[in-house]
Homo-oligomer: A and B are copies of this chain.
């Protein structure tokens, strides 16, 4: 099933996407809800990011090849994370598929995409064992963890390197019932493929993270966990379009524009 969030007639709704038809739903996908009889053509609604998360978790470093190649670029020894220590991103930075990633005027050339699988939590959990972790995942979407590398390296925190407004495209929608170990993640810049990796090739799996996180924190419906990226991202320039496809989910597509 495909769940989206959209604006129509000045109001925001969740909806179920079937073919190119969106059925309005009262309530939220992970709460009480009911289908209405109101339908829209997909092309006639404004798609929003599929949710505004309560807590926005992000795995950060979580693919072996990414660690090795990023270290080689800096002539450094690769450092693999020792545990599934989760990090955070900020809701202010979220935009929908189709909206523009705005590159700040003072951002440097190392302005890069990171293609990430996003697990959307659908069920409250604490002390969740690995075997039951996926029961807490409602569905899957795509995230672009846009990063300004000079700020990421130089600032005391990653606030503007990772969380500047528009730096967190998420969407286009949430797909349920998928096996993330069978997916591939593909990145295209202006249509040219620049990355292609097995989505499930993570250092710590979704199940590993949920098990470890919930030893200490309660996960809630509407939280998201971004799962990290593989490869070595290239720079994005204003005027280009960045497309991230994860097979079975869809495409998250965003033009890059320079801040006015």
Contacts and interface: CB of A to CB of B under 8 A. Distances in A.
Contact of A85 (B157, B218, B220): B157
A159 B90 contact: no
A217 B81 CA distance: 29
A159 B218 contact: no
B54 A91 contact: yes
Copies of this chain, whole number: 2
Contact of A155 (B83, B159, B219, B220): B83
A93 B217 contact: yes
A167 B89 CA distance: 19
Nearest to A59: B157
A88 B91 CA distance: 11
A225 to B, nearest CB: 12
Contacts of A92: 54-55, 217-220, 223
A164 interface: yes
Nearest to A86: B159
A62 to B, nearest CB: 11
A126 interface: yes
Nearest to A88: B88
Contacts of A218: 92, 165
A139 interface: no
A104 B54 contact: no
Interface in A138-165: 155-157, 159-160, 163-165
B90 A217 contact: yes
6 contacts: A82-B156, A87-B159, A90-B217, A159-B213, A165-B216, A165-B218
Given A88-B159, A159-B217, 6 more contacts: A54-B91, A81-B156, A82-B156, A87-B156, A104-B216, A163-B216
